[in-house]
Amino acid sequence: MTPEPAGIVVVGASLAGLRGAEALRRGGYDGPLTLVGAEPHRPYDRPPLSKHVLAGALEADATRLPELTSLRARWRLGSAAVALDRAARTVRLADGSVLAYDKLLVATGAQARPWPAETGGDLAGIHTLRGRDDARTLRTALVAGPRHVLIVGAGLIGCEAASCLRDLGLPVTLADPHPAPLANSFGTFVGGVIAGCLRDAGAVFRPGTQVKAFEGDAAGRVVRARLADGSALEADLVIAALGAVRATGWLRRADLMADPGGLTCDAACRARAADGTACPDIYAAGDVARWPIPLYEGRLVCVEHWGNAVEQASHAARNMLAGPGDQRPYTHLPAFWSSQFGINIKLVGLTAGADSVAVVQGSRASRRFLAVYGQAGRSIAALSFDQARWLPAYAGAILAGAAFPPILDATDQPRIERADPGFSPSRASASAPRPVEVFHA
């Protein structure tokens, strides 16, 4: 009697894990399939958490994702993978059980970067927002009616949260070391528009502000933030929106190119061993994967976007089922959306390294516009504020490597002026060798 094959194990039961598993079944894989998830929940959708769930329009548990193919899977939920043994081809889970695999899809995603405990991160009232339980806890805290909410970090999550909280009528201060919100994603030229939205919504934006520590009361509840300049900000509820770290801790001893910046893959989504060779039986997809993006000279990036999770997982699954001679490279145009202050924001491409930006349709003043980012005379990204209908044309221009600015002679086009996008110097020099770039959504 031959032993039952171990089959495919998918570690990570969020969007990428789910869509990867579906793609395996759709691709004809009929063997054993196991999904491992750290959280006790079946895969759920994260984007609504920082929007409609915080706003109270949706319950946190309403966002469970549809399963679009019959998965016939074993679910191992509520017990995170803690170690990988590549030689034995096994994954050990937190509950001590060991799963054998023939092929492995790593889709463990990322975790919210917590506020360090030594500077007050353990105080009650300090929240992060990444998972469904975070959203539920935060929502409960918001309903209790905090007097001073401080959001640290004016990235997409911070700004979306600020928008929701103002809709709820809560007093909000948003602190960020940059001169404008969303400066990392869009630069200060566009970030200034969101600064205006924050102002109009009645939120206090504190640019150039470094929070050093949080201080609590006798009961261990946060009462204020201590800033770098020594001053203090009152806060009885804090949202630490500091971005994410890739969930690679469980791969520490697996001799892979893995660190908090991600798990490095080759063009076909195969994980790279520490010596740089691609593992034929280990693939990665979604937030955790650090991969060479062909559209941007093959530099290594983590793309923490919903669309990348879906597409990369499907692609990895396809390659998992294909022979070694039929491994196709993953080509993808990054794209994400956000909604805040009543505006639908969509971006295609990567803005990193942009040296210019131009509003090509509409105007910043009207808060309805399309902006294109350029690098060395080439169009590299396009951003829409409530002008999504035109975005596919600009996506096409970016894919085609069109000159910057692209698409002249357009309807409703202002006189095109190039501006400095206003990225901080460290980010603007994309050509400088750096371990990884991360793009948040």
117, 228 in Cβ contact below 8 A? no
* Cβ at position 118, least distance to another protein in Å: 36
397-429 as b/e: b if 16+ CB within 10 A: bbeeebebbbbeeeeeeeeeeeeebbbeeebbe
Rg (CA), the chain: 22
φ/ψ region of 245 (left if φ > 0, alpha if ψ in -120 to 50, else beta) reads beta
Sites of contact with another protein (CB under 8 A): 42, 45, 47-48, 52, 57-68, 70-79, 306-307, 310, 335-337, 339, 342-344, 346, 361, 368, 386, 388-393, 396, 407-413
Residue environment code for 16-42, b if the CB has 16+ CB neighbours within 10 A, otherwise e: bbbbbbbbbbbeebeebbbbbbbbebb
- What does the alpha-carbon distance between residue 380 and residue 144 come to, in Å, rounded to a whole number? 44
Q: Shortest gap between Cβ of 152 and another protein (angstroms)?
A: 26
**Least gap, CB of 317 to another protein (angstroms):** 17
Tell me the three state secondary structure of residue 160: helix
Pick between residue 67 and residue 215 the one whose CB is nearest to another protein. 67
Q: What's the min distance (Å) between Cβ of 116 and another protein?
A: 33
Shorter beta-carbon distance to another protein: residue 214 or 394: 394
Least Å distance, CB 307 to another protein, is 5
> Which is nearer to another protein, 321 or 410 (by Cβ)?
410
Which of 115, 306 has the CB closer to another protein? 306
Q: From the CB of 206, what's the least distance to another protein, in Å? A: 26
- Kindly tell me which of 64 and 253 has the beta carbon lying closer to another protein: 64
> Are the beta carbons of 120 and 222 closer than 8 angstroms?
yes
Taking a C-beta distance cutoff of 8 angstroms, is the pair 235, 224 a contact?
yes
CB of 60 to another protein, least distance (A): 8
CB 20 within 8 A of CB 33: no
CB atoms within 10 A of CB 177: 16
Smallest gap from Cβ 410 to another protein, in A, equals 4
Shorter beta-carbon distance to another protein: residue 138 or 258: 138
Nearest to another protein of 204, 337 (CB atom): 337
Residue type, 358: A
SS (H, E, C) 235-270: CCEEEECCCEEECCHHHCCCCECEECCEEEECCCCE
The number of beta carbons lying within 10 Å of the beta carbon of residue 388 is 13
Q: Pick between residue 144 and residue 408 the one whose CB is nearest to another protein.
A: 408
Residue 72, classified by CB atoms within 10 Å of its CB into exposed (0-12), middle (13-18) or buried (19+), is exposed
> In the complex, what is the shortest distance from the CB of residue 226 to another protein, in angstroms, rounded to a whole number?
37
Reduce the DSSP state of residue 283 to 3 states and report it: strand
Q: Which is nearer to another protein, 356 or 361 (CB)?
A: 361
Nearer to another protein, 46 or 272 (CB): 46
Q: How many CA within 13 A on the CB side of residue 73?
A: 29
The nearest distance, CB 91 to another protein, in angstroms, is 15
